[in-house]
């Protein structure tokens, strides 16, 4: 009897123990599964994997972006120091937010004439237009939708004895970043802190993503000097550029400069399409005003 009782008790204990183990396993397993599930949409890993897949054009680009992100590390410590007084912002979204540069991402899916790129509307970092040579043999590139119009304008000018040398067309976001970072470093070497150095750099070099050259939509023609306005090439452009879809993007008058945020650049022409270019010229407005985003 005692032995039977004992074995019954043991069996009960064993069954209960098994139940407890099963329960722990099932519940524990569920918790682990849940944690695994929760950890999947990690914003950091998502972001980095997106960046990896988009920056695959050349290995050089990858190396450069790595080195530039390393060089930006002092920025983050500056941000932390300043965070008590400065408004908060997402430093991934706004790499130069610490200096007040927090542009909206511009819509690049719209018609080419309506793509607005400036200090307030910036290109996404991974924006890479399909390119074509602006003038055969020049090696200077533009968006493939723009290049044929530049070639046509170049040929027409040539027939009039005018050479519209393409000086600077498409410039990659990465190259813009390198130029900008180098300028910041120069300013810092001259004694400015990073924020001051960045603000000063932006008066000379457009913040990465905010230059029309990063979109392949603009060409610097012949010269980078204001005296270009006194040349026969400038005169020809003034008369004919709109017929090929190009506008003088940064006019001389103070009101326009205020609106575009850029000084007078008689050499910088932006493609907006023939109809829009003629319309903008006739109305004497900036692209910002024309698009209702002044
Ligand atoms: Zn330019």
Q: Which of 279, 272, 86, 125 shows the shortest CA–CA distance to 209?
A: 125
Mean pLDDT of the chain: 80
If asked whether residues 126 and 258 sit together in one domain, one would say yes
Q: Give the pLDDT confidence score for residue 91 in this predicted structure.
A: 86
Q: Which residues are catalytic?
A: 265
Its domain, for residue 17, covers 2-38
- Whether 79 has a pLDDT exceeding 50, the answer reads no
pLDDT of residue 88: 78
Q: Please tell me the distance between residue 243's alpha carbon and the centre of ligand 1 in angstroms.
A: 20
Q: How far apart are CA 204 and CA 201, in angstroms?
A: 6
pLDDT of residue 207: 95
pLDDT in tens, 22-42: 444 444 444 333 333 333 333
Q: Angle, nearest 10°, between helix axes 173-189 and 194-201? A: 130
Q: What's the CA-to-centroid distance between 25 and ligand 1, angstroms?
A: 66
Q: For residues 89 and 14, state if they share a domain.
A: no
Instruction: Give the rounded distance of the alpha carbon of 171 from its chain centre.
Output: 11
Average pLDDT for 233-252: 98
Q: Are residues 176 and 213 in the same domain?
A: yes
Residue 170 has pLDDT above 50, yes or no: yes
Question: Residues 18, 130: one domain?
Answer: no
Q: Please check whether residues 128 and 191 belong to one and the same domain.
A: yes
Q: Please report the sign of the dihedral spanned by the C-alpha atoms of residue 39, residue 43, residue 46, residue 48.
A: negative
Q: pTM of whole model > 0.75?
A: no
The answer to whether 115 touches 107, Cβ cutoff 8 Å, is yes
Whole-number Å distance, alpha carbon 143 to ligand 1 midpoint, is 14
Q: CA torsion sign, 88 to 93 to 99 to 105? A: negative
* pLDDT of res. 93: 86
In contact, 210 and 103? CB cutoff 8 Å: yes
Question: Residue 95 C-alpha to ligand 1 middle, in angstroms?
Answer: 23
Number of domains in the chain: 2
pLDDT at 105: 95
Per-residue pLDDT, averaged over 285-289, amounts to 97
- The residue ranking higher by pLDDT, 117 or 2, is 117
């Amino acid at each position: 009897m005692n032995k039977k009782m004992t074995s019954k008790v043991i069996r009960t204990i064993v069954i209960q123990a098994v139940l407890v183990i099963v329960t722990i396993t099932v519940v524990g397993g569920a918790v682990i599964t849940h944690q695994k599930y929760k950890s999947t949409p990690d914003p950091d890993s998502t972001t980095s994997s997106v960046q990896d897949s988009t920056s695959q054009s050349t290995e050089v680009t990858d190396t450069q972006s790595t080195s530039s992100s390393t060089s930006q590390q002092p920025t983050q410590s500056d941000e932390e120091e300043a965070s008590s007084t400065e408004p908060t912002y997402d430093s991934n979204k706004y790499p130069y937010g610490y200096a007040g540069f927090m542009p909206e991402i511009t819509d690049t899916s719209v018609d080419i004439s309506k793509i607005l790129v400036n200090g307030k509307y910036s290109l996404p970092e991974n924006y890479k237009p399909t390119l074509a040579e602006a003038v055969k043999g020049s090696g200077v590139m533009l968006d493939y939708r723009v290049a044929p119009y530049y070639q046509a304008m170049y040929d027409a000018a040539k027939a009039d004895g005018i050479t519209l040398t393409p000086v600077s067309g498409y410039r990659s976001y990465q190259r813009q970043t390198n130029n900008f970072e180098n300028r910041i470093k120069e300013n810092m070497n001259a004694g400015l802190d990073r924020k001051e150095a960045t603000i000063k750099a932006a008066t000379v070099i457009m913040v990465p993503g905010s230059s029309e050259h990063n979109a392949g939509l603009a060409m610097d023609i012949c010269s980078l000097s204001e005296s270009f306005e006194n040349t026969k090439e400038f005169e020809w452009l003034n008369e004919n550029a709109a017929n090929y879809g190009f506008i003088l993007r940064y006019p001389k008058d103070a009101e326009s400069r205020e609106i575009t945020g850029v000084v007078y650049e008689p050499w910088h022409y932006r493609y907006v399409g023939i109809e829009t270019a003629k319309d903008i010229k006739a109305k004497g407005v900036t692209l910002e005003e024309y698009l209702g985003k002044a």
